[in-house]
Structures are given as C-alpha cells and as structure tokens.
Amino acid sequence: MSGTHPTREEDFDLYALGALDGDEKVAFESHLASCAGCKEKLAEANGRIAMLAFAAPATLPSPGVKERLMRQVAATTPEINASSARIVPESSEGIFARWWGLLLPLAGAFALAALLLWLHNGQLERQIAALRGTIQEQASKIAQAHEEAELMSARDTVVVSLAVQKNQPQGTARVLYNSRRGMLVYNGRLAPVASDKSYQLWLVPMNGAPISAGVFNPVSGEMNSMMVKVPAGIAAKAFAVTLEPAGGMPGPTGPMILVGPVS
Amino acid sequence: MTGETGTESRASDAALVARIIQRDESALAALYDRYSGMLSSVLNRILRDTQAAEEILQDIFYQLWRTAAQFDPSRGSLPGWLLVIARNRAISRLRRHNPASGESLLENTIVLPATLESTIAQQQLIGKVKGALDNLPKEQRAAIELAYFEGLTHSEIAQRTGDPLGTVKTRLRSAVETLKRNFKI
C-alpha cells in the first residue's frame, strides 16, 4: 500500500478506530506520512470515530474533580509575593513592655487569622451550595438528555417539519413525536415577540380540539428546544405554532405561524 | 453545558481557549462544565473505575490549562481533541501502557462532523449515535465496541471472540461503512 493510496475507504476509519494491526497498519502509516490528501481523510475519520463516545452511558463526575482541578490551576498561577511583615522591636526597656510588644502582634495575628478563616468558611459554604445546585441541574439535564435520546432513536418516533405560513415572520421548527410514549421534542428558531405575546405549540389530534404542548418566548437568534410530555396514545394529525397572549391560551386564538402535517 | 453562566454558555470554544491562554480560570471552568459530562461518560465506559476516570478527567483539563496555546482551532474542534485524548489515556490505563502517542494538542487533525458547543447539539448526537449503533447487526456492533471501548485490534478481537480473523475484518469494515453513511450531518 506504501506509495499508493489505501485501496479501501474504510481503512481510514479502521485506522482511527485502532483496529488495523501488523502489516496493514505499517503500510497505512508509511503512506500517510507523505500524502496530504489521505491526512485530510484521516482527520474526518478521526472525527467520525470520536463520535462513538456518545454511545457511552451518561455519567457525571463528582463535584470534587472540578474543585481539585481549580485548586491545581490556582496553585500554578503566578503568585504575588507577599511582603513579609517586619516587626520593629519596641524601644521600651521594661520587661512587661517587651512582653506586650510580643503578645499584641500575636493576638492581632490570631484575630486576623480567625476572621480570615471565618470569611473563607462562609465562601466555601456558598460554593458548596452553588455546587449542589449545579449537580441537581446537571442530573435533571442528563435525565432529559436520556429521554430525548431514547425518543430520537425509537423506531415509532415521527419527525414533523413545520413550515412557516404565508405573510408570517420567518421561522423554522421540527417536532419529534412519539405517541406511544406521550412525548415530543420541539426544536425551532422563530423571531422574538413583544413582551405581551408568546408562541404556543399545539398538537392537533385526529379527533378533537388542539392540545397545548408548550409556551415559549425565544431570544433573538437562539434555537428554542423543549421536551414536552403529553397524554400517551394520541394520534396526531399535525403540529402548529400560534402567536398568543403572553403565557398562552387554553385553545388557539391567534395567527398560525408554523404548521406541519404528520405524514 | 450546565453550570456555565449565561455569558459563558454563549462563548465559543475558541474564545474560551483564548481566555485560558490569558490565564482566565473562569474560561477553564466554563469548558469543564461544557465537556466534563461527555468525557466522564466515555472514561467510565472504558475504565469502569470511577476513581481512575476522574483522575484522567482532571488531568486532561489540567493539560488544557497548561498547553492551550498549542491548540490550533484550524486543525480540529476542541471536543474532538478532548474525546481522542480521553479515549487514548483511558485505553492506555486499561492496557497498562504509557499514554498513547498522538494525544498532544499538536498532532493528528480531528474534524468532527458536528458542533458540540450546545447541550442540544450533544443531545442530538447521543440520539444519532445510539440509533446508528442500534441499527447495526449484533456482531458488528460488538466488534465496534470492542475496538472503540477496549482498544482491541482486528487480531485481538478475533482472539477474544474466537471468530476467524477474516470474519472480524469483514464485520468491522461493514460496520464503519454503515456508520460513515449514518454519521453524515
């Protein structure tokens, strides 16, 4: 293979995977050393293979890892050389005056140390409280990510593209819906609305009135994403987004911005 | 990902790396929040040892802190680098090797077919990758997982499973071909 391109395209992915060995590996590497085109292909293969990491079950590191990392980092940042305190001896000649001269700075140092420890303790408690909040938030996001991942990979999940309606502002959205699980994921980009308005997503069933599936107010330029649980087993005819008074309405009342039929 | 402030969560990886070079610890904390979950998952899957996984996780971010200036965004995405380094180190630990070569921030280029800077992007990728693997025939999936998560070569997989080497090679070739088609984003 040396001097000629690898005959099989899969060799790039197999090399990135670390599966090639023996002569195959040697030949691939010797060719790669002198071929810019193959290096580019390998870069793409490296990226594809790196994505396999996402097949791993989601876990979170303990908060202690970040704490240790940040302490390690802080220890390596340039430190300001604290000027050493210089104690000037008192000129008093009496023994009591000399003791006071020693004890007063010591007492002061103890008091200062106690104050610093107290302040530091308060700071640590605030950090711990913040970390607890972060952990809870991460755990909830991970759980949501799992549910979304399962929804996306389920064979009976339908993907519905929502198209913007005539004379309405530009926008785009997609809904993944699984009626068996009673769950949908909305991802969309719409123009921001006035503070007294909200967008509202509707599940339009085959029979009966539209069911509210979430209210949202997008920030300029940002993608909105939400996972919504709805009653299981509803056969959907379409999904739609309407513009409603802030906070949403029990049934659609405003103009229809996006609609997507379930095929 | 989580734990980032509003401003940090909007900052790009490249901007955060630039701030790390300026010794901004909050930028490192933001990248840690964004990618530590992703790396922790793969490290734990490979090592099945939480303590070892956390040691490597800390070490990877400390390496980023020390050598951020070597990172060249034109040669690949940061999460791509982090994932490759994490896998290399975990497999080296698993097989009691020295850290594999190619983990420097300067070596092999890695082009991820997707951006991973947002939680949504990471979630979508989890679904896509799991879906793609679920659709592979059982033997192909097993071969891919032995290669990726245990760092086994063709021959080592054949030895482990007792299947003929040619069969293992065919399975892996078919699997990477299918994944390549499915990973196009």
Could you report the per-residue pLDDT of B116-170, keeping only the tens digit for each? 767 777 777 888 888 899 999 999 999 999 999 999 999 999 999 999 999 999 9
B-chain CB neighbours of A63 within 8 Å are none
d(CA B111, CA A2): 24
pLDDT tier at A20 (50, 70, 90 boundaries)?
A: very high
What's the average model confidence in pLDDT over B49-67? 92
Q: Which of A39, A69, A159 best tests the B interface by mutation, with the highest count of B CBs <10 A? A: A69
Check residue B40 and give its pLDDT: 95
d(CA B98, CA B68): 22
Interchain contact, A54 vs B130, CB within 8 Å: yes
What's the average model confidence in pLDDT over A114-134? 77
Q: Is A260 helix (H, G, I), strand (E, B) or coil?
A: strand
Alpha-carbon distance B59 to nearest alpha carbon in chain A (angstroms): 8
Please tell me if residue A55 touches chain B, with a CB cutoff of 8 Å. Answer: yes
Please tell me if residue A18 touches chain B, with a CB cutoff of 8 Å. Answer: yes
Q: Calculate ∠ Cα A227-A233-A235, nearest 5°.
A: 90
What's the average model confidence in pLDDT over A102-113? 78
Please tell me if residue A62 touches chain B, with a CB cutoff of 8 Å. Answer: yes
d(CA B126, CA B26): 27
In the sheet where A236-245 sits, what is the strand order?
A211-216, A197-205, A236-245, A256-261, A158-164, A171-178, A183-190, A224-229
Q: Token pair for residue B71? A: 């990172």
Interchain contact, A223 vs B120, CB within 8 Å: yes
HSE on the CB side for A190, CA within 13 Å?
A: 32
**For residues B18 and B31, is the Cβ–Cβ distance under 8 A?**
no
More confident residue, B136 or A58: B136
> Least CA distance to A143: which residue of chain B?
B123
Burial A147-183 (b: 16+ CB within 10 A, else e): bbbbbbbbeebeebebebbeeeeebebebbbbbebeb
Residue in B28, B147, B183 nearest the CB of A51: B183
Please tell me if residue A46 touches chain B, with a CB cutoff of 8 Å. Answer: yes
CA distances from A74 to A92, B28, B35, B82 (A): 44, 11, 20, 22
**For residues A21 and B87, is the Cβ–Cβ distance under 8 A?**
no
Identify any residues that bridge with A202 across adjacent strands, giving them in sequence order: A212, A240
Average pLDDT across chain B, whole number: 84
What's the average model confidence in pLDDT over A146-167? 82
Interchain contact, A138 vs B120, CB within 8 Å: no
Check residue A228 and give its pLDDT: 82
d(CA B91, CA B88): 5
Residue B8 has pLDDT above 70, yes or no: no
Check residue B169 and give its pLDDT: 95
Check residue A235 and give its pLDDT: 92
Check residue B39 and give its pLDDT: 95
Check residue B128 and give its pLDDT: 85
CA distances from A128 to A64, A71, A104 (A): 10, 15, 36
> Least CA distance to A187: which residue of chain B?
B120
Check residue A191 and give its pLDDT: 87
**For residues B109 and A39, is the Cβ–Cβ distance under 8 A?**
yes
Interchain contact, B122 vs A134, CB within 8 Å: no
Q: Tell me the residues of chain A between 25 and 44 that have a Cβ less than 8 Å away from chain B.
A: 25, 39-40, 42-44
> Least CA distance to A72: which residue of chain B?
B62
Interchain contact, B1 vs A138, CB within 8 Å: yes
Beta pairing, strands A197-205 & A211-216:
antiparallel
A-chain CB neighbours of B127 within 8 Å are 148-153
Q: Is A220 helix (H, G, I), strand (E, B) or coil?
A: coil
How many other β-carbons are positioned within 10 Å of the β-carbon of residue B93?
18
DSSP annotation string for A4-72 = S--S-THHHHHHHHT---HHHHHHHHHHHTT-HHHHHHHHHHHHHHHGGGGGSPP----HHHHHHHHHH
d(CA B116, CA B79): 7
B-chain CB neighbours of A74 within 8 Å are 25
Check residue A96 and give its pLDDT: 59
What's the average model confidence in pLDDT over A27-50? 86
> Least CA distance to B181: which residue of chain A?
A48
> Least CA distance to A58: which residue of chain B?
B41
Q: What percent of chain A has pLDDT over 70?
A: 84
Q: For the ranges A12-21, B27-36, B93-102, B169-178, which has the lowest average pLDDT?
A: B93-102
> Least CA distance to B47: which residue of chain A?
A56
- Residue of A214, A217, A216, A258 lying closest to A238 (CA atoms): A258
The model's pTM is 0.56
Place of tokens 């390596």: A76
More confident residue, B123 or B6: B123
Q: How many CB pairs under 8 A join A and B?
A: 201
- Terminal alpha carbon distance of chain B: 21
d(CA A128, CA A6): 54
Long-range contacts of A169-177 (CB under 8 A, 24+ apart): A169/A257, A171/A241, A171/A257, A171/A258, A172/A258, A173/A241, A173/A258, A173/A260, A175/A201, A175/A239, A175/A260, A176/A151, A176/A152, A177/A203, A177/A236, A177/A239, A177/A262
- Residue of A226, A254, A222 lying closest to A240 (CA atoms): A254
Residue A92 has pLDDT above 80, yes or no: no
- Residue of A77, A73, A98, A79 lying closest to A87 (CA atoms): A98
Residue in B54, B151, B172 nearest the CB of A62: B54
Interchain contact, A53 vs B42, CB within 8 Å: yes
Residue in B23, B91, B129 nearest the CB of A54: B129
Classify residue A65 as left (phi > 0), alpha (psi -120 to 50) or beta.
alpha
pLDDT tens column, A60-84? 999 999 999 999 998 876 543 333 3
Please provide residue A68's backbone torsions phi and psi, each rounded to the nearest 5 degrees. Answer: -65, -40
**For residues A210 and A195, is the Cβ–Cβ distance under 8 A?**
no
Indicate the helix (H) or strand (E) that contains A160. Answer: strand A158-164
Check residue A94 and give its pLDDT: 54
Residue B5 has pLDDT above 70, yes or no: no
Check residue A91 and give its pLDDT: 47
B76 DSSP 8-state letter: B
A88 DSSP 8-state letter: P
B52 DSSP 8-state letter: H
Identify any residues that bridge with B76 across adjacent strands, giving them in sequence order: B110
